[in-house]
Amino acid sequence: MSSNSKKLSKPADLFSLVLAGFTILIALVFFRERLYADAAYYFFHAINAQSFHIEHGRLVLAISQLVPLGGLYLGLELKQLAILASLGNALFYVLLALFIRFRYSNSYLALGALLIPVVNQHFLHFSPMMEITYGGALLMLYYVLLTNGESGFQRIVLLTICVILILTSHPEHFISVAVLTPSIRKTDKNWLPVAAWIVFIIIVIFVIKISTFSEYEAGKVSAYTDHNHHISQLWHPQYIKELLLMLLSEYTFAILTFMFCTAYFLKQKDYFRTLQIFAGVVALIVLVNSAKEATNYTRYIQSMYSPFVAIVLVFLLAEVIPRLHQIQKSILILAIAAFTLYEAHRIWGFGEDLSRRTAMHEAIIEKARNVDGQKFFIDKDDWQPEYYWFGWSTPMELLILSSFAGPNETMSILEREDLEYNQNFERLDDGTFVVRRFEIEKNDFLNSRFFSLPKGPYRHLSAE
């Protein structure tokens, strides 16, 4: 049996087809809900500026902005662009999987690219501008390029692009790349020059990153030396207990995959792979927990542990399943499918929760339309507060939703705490508005093709 034939699988291909359909379906059904948190922020700024919006040097963000920006230059309306933004994210994973499957004849890592936005992603699935997740999916392509045995200029170019996109997607992925790169020794006789080139890229990107830290990134880095969140917390038995309980309850699939892969490698006396996966998982968990307390399962913590899921999936799909007998492969694919069905149920359920939140937003907008003015602030406790998660993005979400009806219908609606944050009420005048509580702009900052706010003060909008 050829090396490539071992990496082809009809069950994996069928599973990938179902996952691709699910990802696209979610993108279309819940496109309003996927304008959530970071997604609203990047969509608003990209559409408002009619250009790519990239922050902190995270280049991979440009990929999912291609589709809505393409629609913008075709003259589409804002609502249609929002649909394309949601769809563009889904297409990133689908097209990546297709490329891996048909260019490199690898069913398993193609499946991995489609599992990344689903496994342990029920929060992040609705904030689809999470670059750390894009980096996780690109690890599947990176591993193919490392281990497929090909050589030549095209491989080096693709490896270079892939490494740059992964490393700039999030600092955690420096660990991911460092852990996976040694696998090149197993499949490439002339591995040393390629490995040296990759190490060179890692060093260059690292130097560039630390030399160009944004204020946001500098704050994150400082957390690693903050005495309140020092690595020493990992030596406290109670903290370790809470961490393990969280990982076992919320990352059951990833933990079981890690244990299964480790046991398999030990049985095969493949100590090299054992060391790789063990070092990668431990390093990531230590890194996350040295920055902050990471024992409560929140949207942010879900994103921080995302590379953990990606690494164990790479080893399972690339180094374990292809070595098994056909019946064993089918059983494992079926087991993964069963767990993924559970994850899909969680994603859909959270989408329905967000739909109720969106309905509340639309009710607020409709209430505002019956009152003179286009700038308001509300008391969130008057408007079903259980649906007000991550309120920092609410002003942008309401601005976008209201503008689906046209630029003259734009509403800037804040929560009272947005107005009180950093004494924003003193910084605002009739000619300015709040993009988000950290960001105040003049009314003419808005792209008049999609948004428009007249001069005027913010007034209280009552739910009664």
Q: Give the model confidence (pLDDT) of 224-275 as tens digits.
A: 555 555 677 778 889 999 999 999 999 999 999 999 999 999 999 999 999 9
- In degrees and rounded to multiples of 5, residue 237 shows phi and psi of -55, -40
The dihedral built from the CA positions of residue 252, 258, 262 and 265, taken in this order, carries a sign that is positive
Gap between the Cα atoms of 120 and 118, Å rounded = 6
- Element of type H or E holding 166: helix 153-169
Residues 6+ apart with CB under 8 A from 33: 126, 351, 354, 355, 357, 358
Residue 183, C-beta contacts closer than 8 angstroms, at least 6 positions apart: 143, 146, 147, 276, 319
Check residue 2 and give its pLDDT: 41
Instruction: Record the tokens describing residue 197, joined without a space.
Output: 């080139």
Distance in angstroms (rounded) separating the CA atoms of residues 380 and 413: 11
- Which residue matches tokens 């902190």? 56
Report helix, strand or coil for 459: strand
Residues of the chain under the 70 pLDDT cut? 1-6, 213-230, 384-390
**Alpha helices (H) along 270-324:** 271-291, 299-304, 306-315
> Which of left, alpha, beta for 336 (phi over 0: left; psi -120 to 50: alpha)?
alpha
* Residues 61, 131 contacting (CB under 8 angstroms): yes
198 touches 163 (CB < 8 A): yes
User: Shortest CA distance to 174 belongs to which of 292, 283, 289, 295?
Assistant: 283
Q: How many residues does the chain have?
A: 464
pTM: predicted TM-score of the whole model, two decimal places:
0.91
Residue 386: the pLDDT is 61
- Do the beta carbons of residue 156 and residue 194 sit within 8 Å? yes
Is the distance from CB of 124 to CB of 39 less than 8 angstroms?
no
Read out DSSP for 354-383? HHHHHHHHHHHHHHHHTSS-SEEEE-GGGS
**pLDDT tens for residues 59-73?**
888 888 999 999 999
H-type alpha helices, 296-444? 299-304, 306-315, 326-369, 394-403, 416-420, 424-427
Helix 191-211 and helix 173-180, axial crossing angle in degrees, nearest 10: 170
d(CA 249, CA 401): 36
Q: Nearest Cα to 247, choosing from 304, 175, 290, 291? A: 304
Q: Are strands 459-460 and 375-378 parallel, antiparallel or unpaired?
A: parallel
What are the CA-CA distances from residue 350 to residues 5, 127, 248, 392 (Å)? 39, 12, 21, 19
The answer to whether the beta carbons of residues 38 and 127 sit under 8 Å apart is yes
β-bridge partners, 347: none
